[in-house]
Amino acid sequence: MTASRRYAAFVTSVPLSLAALDASGAPQWNSALVAGVAGVGDASAAWDKTQFYGGVRGDVLFLRNGPRSPGLGPSLEIATAGFSDVRAIAGATVLLPLGDLWGIAVEPGGYVRSSDGGALPGLSGRAWFGVQTYNYQGAYSPRGGITVGYSHDLGDSDAHAIVIAAQVDGLILALPFVLLFESFRGSSRE
């Protein structure tokens, strides 16, 4: 291959590869605080008692290239029901936008719950509805809404939890502290 052909191949391939990067959609991640109620029960009662449900969660969505494109990716949540257990829930999030601002998501997954009875595995399913955004300038995508879910222990335990919670974006929670820090630090242009 001559030098002129190599140069022509290089000049042609660079714009094509850059165009492919723009069209592919970079991963968009999110973090949130989850707070609500959990109706816990067993085989004898679907909702035996009501407990506080709280946790932190995060996800990364792939395949999105705009606010109206769906996303798919892994998620992780660390939570508690009534402060009597700790549960680590891992799943796959499927986001379906309902326009530029609203969206729904489903999240099937599994979990490990640690309580007085030891570590228990289980299956979990979540549905989410709320505000979803797409960040054209960065990788963080703010999101918040309402989560409804069901978790069921596997094995000897027949315990389950029905979860209804608000999902508040982590950036919204951190923003007052960032603004306070910046006000004490002062402007770097002084």
Can you give the pLDDT of all 190 residues of the chain as single tens digits? 565 555 445 444 544 444 444 445 789 999 999 999 999 999 889 899 999 999 999 999 999 999 999 999 999 999 999 999 999 999 999 999 999 999 999 999 999 999 887 899 999 999 999 999 999 999 999 999 999 999 999 988 889 999 999 999 999 888 898 889 888 887 655 5
Q: Which helix (H) or strand (E) holds 81?
A: strand 71-81
How many CA atoms lie less than 13 Å away from 31 in the CB half-sphere?
A: 9
Q: How far apart are CA 32 and CA 53, in angstroms?
A: 14
Q: Cα 177–180–184 angle (5° rounding)?
A: 140
In a domain, 90, yes or no: yes
Residue 170 forms part of a structural domain:
yes
Residue 9 has a pLDDT of 52
As given in the structure block, the two tokens for residue 82 are: 């009534």
Write down the pTM of the prediction.
0.79
Q: Provide the domain count of the chain.
A: 1
- Reported as half-sphere exposure (CB side, CA atoms, 13 A), residue 18 has a value of 6
Residue with tokens 């929670």: 173
Residue 159 placed within a domain: yes
Is the distance from CB of 144 to CB of 172 less than 8 angstroms?
Answer: yes
Residue 34 lies in a domain: yes
20: in domain: no
Domain CATH number, residue 32: 2.40.160
Residue 65 lies in a domain: yes
In the Cβ-directed half-sphere of 61, how many Cα atoms lie within 13 Å? 27
Q: Where in the sequence is the domain holding 147, given as residue range(s)?
A: 25-41+48-185
For residues 81 and 53, what is the distance between their CA atoms, to the nearest angstrom?
5
Residue at 70 is within a domain: yes
